[in-house]
Amino acid sequence: MESDIFEIISVGNELLTGKTLNTNAHWLAKMITELGGFVKRCTVVRDDVDDISSSIKESIKRGVNWLIVSGGLGPTYDDKTLQGVAKALNRELIIDDDALKMVEKKYEHIIAHGVLKKAELTPARVKMATLPKGSKALPNPIGTAPGVLIDEGDIKIVCLPGVPVEMEAIFKESIMPMIMKSIRKFYHEKSIHIIGIMESDLAPLIEKALANNPLVYIKSHPKGRGEGLSKIEIQVTAMADESSTAKKRVEDALEQLKSMIIEHGGMMDKEIMG
Amino acid sequence: MESDIFEIISVGNELLTGKTLNTNAHWLAKMITELGGFVKRCTVVRDDVDDISSSIKESIKRGVNWLIVSGGLGPTYDDKTLQGVAKALNRELIIDDDALKMVEKKYEHIIAHGVLKKAELTPARVKMATLPKGSKALPNPIGTAPGVLIDEGDIKIVCLPGVPVEMEAIFKESIMPMIMKSIRKFYHEKSIHIIGIMESDLAPLIEKALANNPLVYIKSHPKGRGEGLSKIEIQVTAMADESSTAKKRVEDALEQLKSMIIEHGGMMDKEIMG
- On whether both A150 and A203 belong to a single domain, the answer is no
Q: Summarize the confidence of residues A128-149 as an average pLDDT.
A: 96
Alpha-helical (H) ranges within chain A are 13-16, 23-34, 49-62, 81-89, 97-112, 123-127, 164-170, 176-182, 199-212, 243-263
Judged by phi (left if over 0) then psi (alpha if -120 to 50, else beta), residue B6 lies in beta
Q: In whole angstroms, give the CA distance from residue B24 to residue B164.
A: 6
Q: Summarize the confidence of residues B235-256 as an average pLDDT.
A: 91
Q: In whole angstroms, give the CA distance from residue B208 to residue A271.
A: 57
- On whether both B201 and B233 belong to a single domain, the answer is yes
- On whether both A229 and A133 belong to a single domain, the answer is no
Which residue among B13, B166, B203 places its CB closest to the CB of A77?
A: B203
**Which pLDDT value is given to residue B227?**
46
**Which pLDDT value is given to residue A118?**
66
List chain B residues with CB under 8 Å of A218: 78
Judged against a pLDDT cut of 80, whether residue A242 lies above it is answered with yes
Domain that holds residue B83: 5-182
Please say which residue of B122, B149, B182 terminates a domain: B182
**Which pLDDT value is given to residue A91?**
98
Q: Summarize the confidence of residues A143-165 as an average pLDDT.
A: 96
Judged against a pLDDT cut of 60, whether residue A1 lies above it is answered with no
Residue-wise pLDDT for A91-107, tens only, equals 999 999 999 999 999 88
- On whether both B12 and B126 belong to a single domain, the answer is yes
- On whether both A210 and A141 belong to a single domain, the answer is no
Of A92-106, A203-217, B78-92, which gets the smallest average pLDDT? A203-217
CB atoms inside a 10 Å sphere around CB B272: 12
Q: Summarize the confidence of residues B111-117 as an average pLDDT.
A: 69
- On whether both A158 and A220 belong to a single domain, the answer is no
- On whether both B155 and B233 belong to a single domain, the answer is no
CB atoms inside a 10 Å sphere around CB B270: 10
Alpha-helical (H) ranges within chain B are 13-16, 23-34, 49-62, 81-89, 97-112, 123-127, 164-170, 176-182, 199-212, 243-263
Please say which residue of B154, B182, B210 terminates a domain: B182
**Which pLDDT value is given to residue B73?**
96
- On whether both B157 and B63 belong to a single domain, the answer is yes
List chain B residues with CB under 8 Å of A74: 199, 220, 222
Distances (CA, A) of B45 to A141, A186, B80, B146: 32, 22, 11, 21
Q: In whole angstroms, give the CA distance from residue B250 to residue B218.
A: 9
B116 contact A CB<8A: yes
Residue-wise pLDDT for A16-46, tens only, equals 999 999 999 999 999 999 998 999 999 999 9
> What is the overall mean pLDDT for chain B?
90
- On whether both A160 and A123 belong to a single domain, the answer is yes
CATH of the domain at B261: 3.30.70.360
Residue-wise pLDDT for A155-165, tens only, equals 999 999 999 99
Q: What is the number of structural domains in chain B?
A: 2
- On whether both B176 and B218 belong to a single domain, the answer is no
Which residue among A16, A46, A221 places its CB closest to the CB of B14?
A: A221
**Which pLDDT value is given to residue A24?**
98
CATH of the domain at A108: 3.40.980.10
- On whether both A227 and A256 belong to a single domain, the answer is yes
Are A200 and B125 within 8 A, CB to CB?
yes
Contact criterion met (CB below 8 Å) for B75 and B145: yes
Judged against a pLDDT cut of 50, whether residue B273 lies above it is answered with no
Pick from B149, B135, B12, B150: which is nearest to B74 by CA?
B12
- On whether both B171 and B86 belong to a single domain, the answer is yes
Distances (CA, A) of A257 to A220, A224, A265, B74: 12, 21, 13, 19
Please say which residue of B136, B156, B182 terminates a domain: B182
Note whether ipTM > 0.90 here: no
Are B23 and A21 within 8 A, CB to CB?
yes
